[in-house]
């Protein structure tokens, strides 16, 4: 069994080393019981901030071609802290000719996201659809080799930049069989999926590796059960799988059903994270969006939700108006329902840091976050004061909150200690120095309290406020 730290950018270690860390953490959890934070309502004002306050993410699919649209990027940068490339990391985009890789459009998205403190989900390494022409006509061991080489090359290229990969997408058949979908990849042998996971594991040991599919939301469906049995088998045999993605394209033919929560929690009970990866709902009924978010928030291992586009006009199903923003960029009723459900939801369990990497400067979680005194920027003269307060801590990361006083337009410089990395921010506009360790956060009209998530990467030193400048 292997497991990865969400957003972990440490250099790869051997699978066995990771196993030891996870077993130690699991043993600790089992001994102490999962420590749930009280489900008090929080008051995030954006989707990403509200999700991050609960230890989760809220993401969207992004098309590189839309990054030049100012209305689009304004919403993207304000609301989301996870990004999936809608098409740019698919096999036909990244290896258009065999052995010749092309990453330009994908990198545009990755750079846009990561330079603003958002994380990236990779979609997708192996799929029967959107294959490049040269691959579509291949079969047998040549195809198997080409697929594995693709997985290895692409996962290696993005190592450290992608927190989770949809390693294999949509490999199960629709209908009542519960079996695999016929495809050129499937015809290379039933073990093609686990081979892809092992190749991805070798290429990027720290990324979370997911199986992703659609119409797997209804617990009673044969397809859902087929995927469940595969994941159970993988966990039993030590195939390196960390997460299952539920696309959750809901429409009149494939509606949301109330056993969705059972589906999420049943998969999570197998020892994988679950993520909602491509959410859209025909007509965007607020109640259905609320139910979906509540279901995720009720499952501790449901660690993030991604909607498949920002505005209705960005959707692959634009005529169904299935998203959270109108085509003019205004928030829909479904947006308010989602934000409220995030703010009312439970935080994921807190866990002690892995025992193999003890905290260096902060005592373990037996001391509640609020008992640590806040630090205030010492140097006066900038025209404002910034006070950093510890917030929630998880096994691999922690949140900090900074309160600014003395100015309504400000910029605050914060430093983290390598190998720490900031993986998400909210209520401000961040920029970074070339080391990636020093973040300048500017006010963006969201008030005078901003926050950020730091991946500890083994170092639990509290981030430092270096300056506060009124502007």
- Kindly list the catalytic residues: 170, 278
Closest to ligand G2I by CB, 3 vs 166, is 166
Closest to ligand G2I by CB, 97 vs 360, is 97
Q: How far apart are CA 76 and CA 68, in angstroms?
A: 12
Closest to ligand G2I by CB, 18 vs 66, is 66
Closest to ligand G2I by CB, 307 vs 455, is 307
**Nearest of 283, 338, 251 to residue 59 by alpha carbon:** 338
Closest to ligand G2I by CB, 39 vs 129, is 129
**Nearest of 412, 396, 402 to residue 460 by alpha carbon:** 396
**Alpha-carbon 81 to chain mean position:** 8
Closest to ligand G2I by CB, 283 vs 364, is 283
Distance linking the first and last C-alpha atoms of the chain: 51
Hey, is 110 helix, strand or coil?
Answer: helix
Is position 86 an interface residue for ligand G2I (rule: CB under 6 A)? yes
Is 251 in contact with 282 (CB distance < 8 Å)? yes
Closest to ligand G2I by CB, 20 vs 318, is 318
Closest to ligand G2I by CB, 6 vs 121, is 121
Count of other CB atoms within 10 angstroms of residue 363: 10
Min separation Cβ 66 and ligand G2I, Å: 10
Q: Which of 42, 87, 254, 467 binds ligand G2I (CB under 6 A)?
A: 87
Min separation Cβ 239 and ligand G2I, Å: 22
Q: For 407-458, list the strands marked E by DSSP.
A: 410-415, 421-426, 429-432, 438-442, 449-455
Min separation Cβ 82 and ligand G2I, Å: 16
Binding letters toward ligand G2I, positions 313-342, x by CB under 6 A:
---x--------------------------
For the packed helices 333-344 and 286-297, what is the interaxial angle rounded to 10 degrees?
A: 20
H or E segment and range at residue 389: strand 385-393
Sequence-separated (6 or more) residues with CB below 8 Å from residue 274:
243, 244, 245, 246, 264, 267, 268, 296, 299, 301, 302, 303
Is position 183 an interface residue for ligand G2I (rule: CB under 6 A)? no
Q: How far apart are CA 64 and CA 55, in angstroms?
A: 28
Hey, is 375 helix, strand or coil?
Answer: strand
Closest to ligand G2I by CB, 213 vs 396, is 213
**Nearest of 26, 456, 10 to residue 235 by alpha carbon:** 26
Task: Give the position of tokens 């990395």.
Answer: 421
Is position 129 an interface residue for ligand G2I (rule: CB under 6 A)? yes
Number of residues this chain uses to bind ligand G2I (CB under 6 A): 8
Binders of ligand G2I among 279-318, rule CB under 6 A? 316
Q: Which of 42, 92, 130, 183 binds ligand G2I (CB under 6 A)?
A: 130
Q: Cis check for the bond before 103: say yes or no (omega within 30 of 0).
A: no
Sequence-separated (6 or more) residues with CB below 8 Å from residue 359:
353, 456, 460
Q: Which of 194, 278, 294, 314 binds ligand G2I (CB under 6 A)?
A: 278
| Closest chain position to ligand G2I (CB) | 316
Binders of ligand G2I among 212-241, rule CB under 6 A? 214
Q: Which residues of 175-199 are buried (b: 16+ CB within 10 A; e: fewer)?
A: eeebebbebbbbebeeebbbbbbbb
Is 123 in contact with 84 (CB distance < 8 Å)? yes
Binding letters toward ligand G2I, positions 369-398, x by CB under 6 A:
------------------------------
Q: How far apart are CA 141 and CA 177, in angstroms?
A: 27
**Alpha-carbon 111 to chain mean position:** 16
Residues that bind ligand G2I (CB under 6 A): 86-87, 129-130, 214, 247, 278, 316
């Amino acid at each position: 069994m292997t497991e990865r730290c969400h957003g972990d950018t440490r250099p790869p270690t051997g699978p066995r080393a990771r196993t030891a860390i996870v077993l130690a953490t699991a043993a600790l959890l089992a001994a102490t019981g999962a420590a749930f934070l009280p489900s008090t309502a929080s008051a995030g004002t954006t989707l990403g901030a509200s999700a991050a306050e609960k230890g989760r993410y809220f993401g969207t699919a992004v098309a590189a071609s839309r990054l030049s649209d100012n209305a689009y990027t304004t919403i993207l940068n304000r609301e989301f802290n996870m990004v999936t490339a809608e098409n740019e990391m698919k096999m036909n985009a990244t290896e258009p000719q065999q052995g010749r890789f092309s990453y330009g459009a994908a990198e545009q998205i990755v750079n846009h996201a990561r330079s603003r403190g958002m994380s990236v989900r990779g979609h997708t390494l192996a799929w029967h659809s959107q294959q490049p022409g040269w691959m579509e006509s291949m079969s047998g061991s040549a195809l198997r080799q080409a697929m594995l080489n693709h997985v290895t090359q692409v996962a290696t290229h993005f190592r450290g930049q992608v927190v989770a990969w949809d390693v294999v997408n949509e490999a199960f058949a629709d209908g009542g069989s519960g079996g695999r979908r016929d495809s050129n990849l499937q015809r290379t042998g039933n073990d093609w999926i686990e081979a892809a996971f092992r190749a991805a594991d070798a290429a990027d040991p720290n990324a979370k590796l997911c199986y992703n599919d659609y119409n797997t939301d209804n617990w009673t469906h044969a397809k859902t059960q087929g995927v469940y049995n595969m994941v159970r088998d993988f966990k039993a045999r030590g195939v390196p799988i960390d997460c299952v993605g539920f696309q959750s394209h809901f429409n009149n033919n494939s509606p949301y059903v109330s056993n969705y929560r059972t589906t999420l929690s049943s998969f999570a009970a197998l020892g994988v994270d679950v993520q909602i990866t491509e959410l859209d709902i025909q007509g965007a009924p607020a109640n259905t969006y609320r139910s979906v978010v509540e279901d995720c928030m009720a499952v501790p291992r449901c660690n993030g939700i991604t909607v498949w586009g920002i505005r209705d006009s960005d959707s692959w199903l634009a005529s169904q108006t299935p998203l959270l923003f109108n085509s003019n960029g205004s928030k829909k009723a479904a947006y308010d329902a989602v934000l409220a459900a995030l703010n009312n939801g439970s935080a994921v369990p807190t866990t002690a840091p892995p025992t193999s990497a003890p905290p260096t400067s902060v005592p373990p979680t037996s001391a509640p976050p609020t008992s640590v005194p806040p630090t205030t920027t010492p140097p006066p003269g900038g025209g404002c004061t910034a006070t950093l307060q510890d917030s929630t801590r998880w096994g691999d990361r922690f949140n900090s909150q900074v309160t600014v006083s003395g100015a309504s337009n400000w910029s605050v410089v914060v430093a983290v200690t390598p190998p720490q990395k900031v993986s998400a921010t909210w209520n401000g506009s961040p920029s970074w120095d070339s080391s990636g360790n020093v973040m300048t956060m500017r006010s963006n009209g969201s008030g005078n309290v901003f926050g950020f998530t730091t991946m500890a990467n083994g170092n639990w030193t509290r981030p430092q406020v270096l300056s506060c400048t009124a502007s």
